[in-house]
Structure 1
């Protein structure tokens, strides 16, 4: 006869304030018999822990947290393993699943697992400074405790060149002081010195601090382990104390008039410089004598990709898109 089924709830508690925890996160902690977490995160939810077994772990004891959670769940207990932000974004979800798989666990095993999502630091910090993530963005952790620095540096260089808005997690600590300087140097290879940067410390917590700066001055700011650094792209601007990254509506619409589309554009259709229009122009330019190498250089794309586009069968993309648009309008 098997015992009662235990459960591990991987709970993202958000940035730290109860107002920004989800209803499910609070409910998961309420129903838990055991709450496991990093000491700082335990403090953030201390008033929700009355009558519960509380297991506090240190900064580098992530695997110990997961092992303890599994052991308690196998005793039939409900365990809330908490992470700040979202448990799946630099949180405890990944290492816990690794420990589970190593122990032979499957979804059909005697321990149920639930991931409870929460607002990550990138969401919290963006909300405090305006709308910096309205266009494409990514996040990179500068912690080299588990990831080799050359891997981190290659990622930084690639996203800087690709003009993403970037959130830097774990930018600096007492021992790791040069990583943020190296990140700055890599970004300055591709971005202008005046690129807007927001440095947010302890978002929605008691010691919250927000500082607007620029890429060339970024490393001079007060940055630590509780800081997230948001680096804008080539279109990001700061106005009236708000950091905003345009989505691109001005490429298609007259923003200062009646909102009508610009000449050559149509609402609900790809830009004239979107994939279909670009492919057509690429073929015209190539037919006019521009080499693959020259086209690759102009568009900053790999030459073999340009070759593949030019070699693809020519379809009537415009007619196809008209048909798709008609279907969507009828739906």
Structure 2
């Protein structure tokens, strides 16, 4: 097949954090496919470049449309916020390939990575991901809440730093509060909690608190929530926001 498909990570929002490789892939594409607000972030490359915008929650349909365009000989770029391999479009494309036209498996397909929200949020505050960490999405659109609870308990038991994606939305206003209640059963009330909204943009906002006082109402879909491990600590800086980091070496447990 003469067509190709590249899955491009746009990063967390700032054009400065779009990789040069991703920018080249976007410019070279004959067709851009993606969620409308993400396509709006991309400057026009040429008058001949076509855009195929779609709404939220139609990832498999979007992926299938992109694959059909590529099979017709077009150079297609599927755009995704952050990194396309982290709760994003790369998995959707491969799901569509596995279940779809066998000819799609012969397409030239590649992924251009991007900076995911977890990394952008961590950079705003210091180095909270300096030791072992995990990422959990609180969205139960594609998995049960029981599965989310099981994974939260396991992460707390393992004393990972936990990055929470999709912490809240209008359809799911209570789930972050439920997650905090569960974590309070297993973690110290003094565990550091970070709410980082719109990381790596001029509108970035950080709230630093502890698990006992964490208010789920501070989060929306543009917020990444990080819950520290037992070793995660603050470096105070007077009136300025403290740095937050997790030491690389395992800390001795004080009994």
Give, in whole Å, the separation in 2 of the partners of 1:180 and 1:53.
39
Give, in whole Å, the separation in 2 of the partners of 1:181 and 1:131.
25
Taking the TM superposition and a 5 Å limit, the aligned residue runs for 1:52-131 are: 52-105=49-102, 109=106, 111-131=107-127
Kept in 2: contact 1:29–1:48 (CA 8 A): no
Q: Which TM-score applies when normalising by structure 2? A: 0.91
Q: Which residue of 2 aligns with 1:260?
A: none
Shift of 1:63: 1.3
Asked if 1:200 corresponds to 2:196, the answer is: yes
Kept in 2: contact 1:17–1:44 (CA 8 A): no
Kept in 1: contact 2:233–2:245 (CA 8 A): yes
Shift of 1:49: 4.2
Q: Which residue of 2 aligns with 1:233?
A: 229
Q: Which has the higher strand share?
A: 2
Matched length: 246
Q: Which residue of 2 aligns with 1:179?
A: 175
Give, in whole Å, the separation in 2 of the partners of 1:112 and 1:21.
22
Q: Which residue of 1 aligns with 2:145?
A: 149
- Superposition CA RMSD, Å: 1.7
Kept in 2: contact 1:160–1:186 (CA 8 A): no
- Please tell me whether Structure 1 or Structure 2 has the larger radius of gyration of its CA atoms: 1
Aligned pair partner of 1:18 in 9, 15, 35: 15
Question: Cα gap change, 1:6/1:249 in structure 2, threshold over 3 Å: closer, same or farther?
Answer: same
Give, in whole Å, the separation in 2 of the partners of 1:125 and 1:21.
16
Gaps of 5+ in 1: 252-331
Asked if 1:8 corresponds to 2:5, the answer is: yes
Give, in whole Å, the separation in 2 of the partners of 1:242 and 1:55.
42
Q: Which has the higher contact order (CA 8 A, sep 6+)?
A: 2
Shift of 1:21: 1.1
Deviates more, 1:200-209 or 1:174-183: 200-209
Q: The residue matched to 2:167 in structure 1 has which SS?
A: coil
Shift of 1:144: 0.5
Question: Cα gap change, 1:56/1:107 in structure 2, threshold over 3 Å: closer, same or farther?
Answer: closer
Q: Which TM-score applies when normalising by structure 1? A: 0.71
Aligned pair partner of 2:37 in 31, 37, 40: 40
Q: Which residue of 1 aligns with 2:163?
A: 167
Q: Which has the higher helix share?
A: 1
Q: Which residue of 2 aligns with 1:276?
A: none
Give, in whole Å, the separation in 1 of the partners of 2:46 and 2:55.
21
Kept in 2: contact 1:199–1:221 (CA 8 A): no
Q: Map Cα deviations across residues 194-239 of structure 1 (whole Å, 9 max, x no partner).
A: 2111111111234322111111222344211111101100010122
